[in-house]
Amino acid sequence: MEIELKKWSFEDEEALTKLCNAIDRSYLSDRLPNPYTKSAAQWWLNMIQENENKNGVFRKIVAQGKIVGTISVEKKDDVNRKDAEIGYYVLPEEYGKGIMSEAVKKICELAFQELDIIRITGSVFEPNIASRRVLEKNGFLLEGVLKSAVFKNDTIYDLCLYGKVKEDKKTG
């Protein structure tokens, strides 16, 4: 399925709110408000406006003319400033269609081009096999497992750390 990554705009506030209230949160960070309100959408869209191509790249995932997910790569800071964290989600009805694999491929290319980074990190709850496969299909390597590192919905999970290094990286 052909997908597009498009920049978010303030006109997407309602669509973003609906999207974030329709996703499966089982393996997502609790920092995503639930329920997702209009003010949360406004905050996110303002943050994107301030940080786009400076501290991250943020895109809506569009398939067949419909917003079906979101994906971002956000730079870290301090001694980790050449690293960035990837995050994404897609509507449950779109699972298994290859949408996220294609979106991750495209956002990584864009992030390495637009941001001053040499690697991208992905953190995935151990039982989230689908997300782990998406990263592996895109050249991310499992670099380690943090045992009992995540507490979500009264369950403790291991956290899998994946990394993808820019091919023409400079060291030193």
Q: Are 108 and 164 in contact (CB under 8 A)?
A: yes
pLDDT digits 0-9 by tens, 15-37 = 999 999 999 999 999 999 999 99
Domain boundaries, the chain: 3-165
Q: Can you give the pLDDT at residue 169?
A: 54
Rounded distance between C-alpha atoms, residue 167 and residue 164, angstroms: 9
Nearest to 44 by CA among 73, 68, 9, 83: 9
pLDDT digits 0-9 by tens, 71-123 = 999 999 999 999 999 999 999 999 999 999 999 999 999 999 999 999 999 99
How open is the CA angle 60-65-71, to the nearest 5 degrees?
Answer: 15
Looking at the predicted structure, is the pLDDT value of residue 170 above 80?
no
* Mean pLDDT score of the chain: 96
* Mean pLDDT of the region 147-164: 98
pLDDT digits 0-9 by tens, 118-142 = 999 999 999 999 999 999 999 999 9
Q: Where are the beta strands (DSSP E) in the chain?
A: 3-7, 56-63, 66-75, 83-90, 119-125, 141-152, 155-165
Q: Looking at the domain 3-165, which fold is it?
A: Aminopeptidase (3.40.630)
Which of left, alpha, beta for 65 (phi over 0: left; psi -120 to 50: alpha)? Answer: left
Three-state DSSP state, 101: helix
* Mean pLDDT of the region 136-158: 98
